[in-house]
Structure 1
Amino acid sequence: MKKLLTALALGVATVIAPSVFAETPKPTVVLVHGAFADSSSWNGVIRILKKDGYPVLAVANPLRGVASDGAYVANALASIKGPVVLVGHSYGGSVITEAARDHSNVKALVYVSAFAPAEGETAAGLSAKFPGSTLGQAIAPPVKLSTGGNDLYILQDKFHHQFAADVPEAEAALMAATQRPITDAALNEASGNPAWTSIPSWFVYGDKDLNIPPKAIAFMAERAHARKTEVVVGASHVVMVSHPDVTARLIKSAANGD
């Protein structure tokens, strides 16, 4: 009888033990697109993250202004329970730098060919800090807004070369037609206190980026004391479209704190 009770006890322990060591839920990955793009620019990355079990939310960035766009994304962050990896592309980097401030659930920031401004800096100013950006030559005549200010687009016949040179031409043509405009005011709005001073960051960018000079991104990554910086040889400004595997891998590194 004693042996039987011992065996039963061991059997119960065997059943209970796995629940004690259950896997910790993965953080939610929140993706924020930049100017001249939309949330579909993350599709390749989303497929990989979803396959690997990560909850994902791609926020529709308004592209109206750093403070207002940051507040919009912050609202989304407040609705998420559990830890968040916050990812921004291009101007979206300025937005996540603003949005993550005072949100304790944001555990990592990932900058994908993105701005990581310090307080008082602007996207336009950072682009001009180092040579290499040809964006100004590719911008269409501004669209005047009835509320004041201007919307900016990239000329469709220059979009492939300027924005997405390493993406197939047919895909780049679709991206050009569906691009979302940004206000000129947003590119010239000063950033607030940056979240990267208190939240660890990761960076990935292409060495053939014609929108944000690669030297500018390298400067921002070093200044932010990035945990990891990956430079993709030959990649354009939309490294998440042309190299979703590399981008997703870095996001997963951030999720794991690697």
Structure 2
Amino acid sequence: MATATNPDIVIVSGGWHVPENYIKLKDALTASGYQVHVPRLASVSETRPPTGDLYSDTVVVRSLVVDLVEAGRTVIAIMHSYGGQVGTNALHGLGLATRSTQGLPGGVAHLVYMCAFALPEGEFISSLSQEFGHAHHMALSFDVPEDLSSVVRDPRALFIGDYMGEATEEEVVVYLSQLTRWNGKCWGDIITNTPAWKEIPVTYLYCSKDEVLPPDYQARMIKDIRARGREVEVVTIETAHSPHLAATKEVVGAVDKVVAGIGSGN
């Protein structure tokens, strides 16, 4: 449960997702006393051909978070899917501990990767599917026309599957209707900045039924971060790629645990 000194929450959207896709999670976090921000990424601007990419999305997220931390706010970033690539690239140098050593107020206290990409500098989203020999699955799952404004062929199967959890049928229908076109170029955009997870504590929400970012992919990224000397707290959620809809209470519970750790100095 939130307290008067609770941090702000910034939700960084996944590909094809807009802020409305996170309204259930936002409302649940707000009800717990958090101030929640969900910026719309430039890569889902719906322009054709698309103009936004990882780097313009980086500007959107970093600008918002800089405004918050310079106002003295403590921030937790919840990053979903592709949003992990954005937050990883955008939040370097903004860690709470880093800013404290510089005599500056505010900062990002924690990164929550929600079945999200947590890659090192120089890597890109498609590198994982290539590494695991799944590159051919991309054409089966996503329609990518010449202008790269990609859409998901069967979003219900990929994002929800058979794991509706606490979501109602009405919620699922509305959620899927809100998805939009996304710039497929982002699959190949690389992390150009020092990854934020090298500086800021990490919790990874490992979704064991995910088919967009399969468990093997998630485990590989967790292992890689740990191999680079960083701790990762792992929370397993038995759901597919939309825990913010199907397992909202578990996500809020994970955030509450993070906040409790910040409050205790852990």
Q: Matches of 1:241 and 1:136 in 2, distance apart?
A: 26
Aligned match of 1:231:
236
Partner of 2:62: 74
Q: Does 1:250 align with 2:254?
A: yes
Length, aligned pairs only: 228
Assess if the C-alpha contact under 8 Å between 2:76 and 2:110 holds in 1. yes
Instruction: Give the whole-Å Cα distance in 2 for the aligned partners of 1:137 and 1:70.
Output: 28
The C-alpha deviation readout for 1:146-175, integer Å capped at 9, x for no partner, is xxxx110112xx211122212355543433
Measure, in 2, the Cα distance between the counterparts of 1:131 and 1:236.
21
For structure 1, which runs of at least 5 residues remain unmatched after alignment?
1-22, 145-149
The CA deviation at 1:140 is 2.2
Report the Cα distance in structure 2 between the residues aligned to 1:30 and 1:114, rounded to whole angstroms.
15
RMSD: 2.1
Q: 1:163 aligns with which of 159, 164, 175?
A: 159
Among 13, 20, 31, the residue aligned to 1:40? 20
Tell me the SS of whatever aligns to 1:79: helix
Superposition map of 1:147-186 within 5 A: 150-155=148-153, 158-165=154-161, 166-167=163-164, 170-186=170-186
Counterpart residue type for residue 39 of structure 1: P
* Runs of 4 or more consecutive aligned structure 1 residues displaced over 4 Å after TM superposition: 131-135
Q: Secondary structure at the match of 1:211?
A: coil
Contact 2:83 / 2:116 at 8 angstroms: preserved in 1? yes
What pairs up with 1:11-22 in 2 under 5 angstroms? none
Corresponding letter in the other structure for 2:255: I
Runs of 5+ unmatched residues, structure 2: 44-51, 96-106
Confirm or deny: 8 A CA contact 1:152 1:184 kept in the other structure: yes
Partner residue, 1:16: none
User: Take 1:118 and 1:128, find their aligned partners in 2: how far apart are those partners?
Assistant: 16
The aligned runs of 1:1-258 (5 Å cut-off) are 25-63=5-43, 64-80=52-68, 81=71, 82-104=73-95, 105-130=107-132, 134-142=137-145, 144=147, 150-155=148-153, 158-165=154-161, 166-167=163-164, 170-192=170-192, 193-225=194-226, 226-233=231-238, 235-257=239-261
Q: What is the TM-score with the length of structure 2 in the denominator?
A: 0.78
Q: What is the rounded CA distance, in whole Å, between the counterparts of 2:180 and 2:21 in structure 1?
A: 11
% identical aligned pairs: 22
CA displacement at 1:185 relative to structure 2: 1.4
Q: Distance in 1 between matches of 2:139 and 2:172?
A: 19
Provide the C-alpha distance between the structure 2 equivalents of 1:169 and 1:55, rounded to a whole number of angstroms: 28
Q: What amino acid maps onto 1:136 in structure 2?
A: A
Distance 1:45 1:171 in 2: 12
User: Could you list the per-position Cα deviations for residues 229-254 of structure 1 after superposition, in whole angstroms to 9, with x for gaps in the alignment?
Assistant: 11222x11111110011111112222
Q: Following the alignment from structure 1 to structure 2, what is the Cα–Cα distance between the partners of residues 186 and 130?
A: 19
Q: Taking structure 1 as the reference length, what is the TM-score of the superposition?
A: 0.81
- SS of the residue aligned with 2:38? strand
Distance 1:176 1:45 in 2: 15
Instruction: Give distance in 2, aligned partners of 1:85 and 1:181.
Output: 27
In the TM superposition, residue 211 of structure 1 has moved relative to its aligned partner by 0.7
Question: Structure 1's 256 and 126: CA in aligned 2 closer, same or farther, altered over 3 A?
Answer: farther
| Aligned-partner SS, 1:224 | helix
Opposite residue 231 of structure 1, the aligned amino acid is T
Q: Partner amino acid for 1:60? A: R
How far 1:24 moved relative to its partner? 5.8
Per-residue CA distance 1:7-29 (angstroms, 9 max, x = gap): xxxxxxxxxxxxxxxx7611101
Once residues 132 and 202 of structure 1 are traced to their aligned partners in structure 2, the CA distance between those partners, rounded to angstroms, is 26
Give me the whole-angstrom Cα distance separating, in 1, the residues matched to 2:224 and 2:39: 27
Q: State how far apart, in whole Å, the 2-side matches of 1:131 and 1:47 are.
A: 39
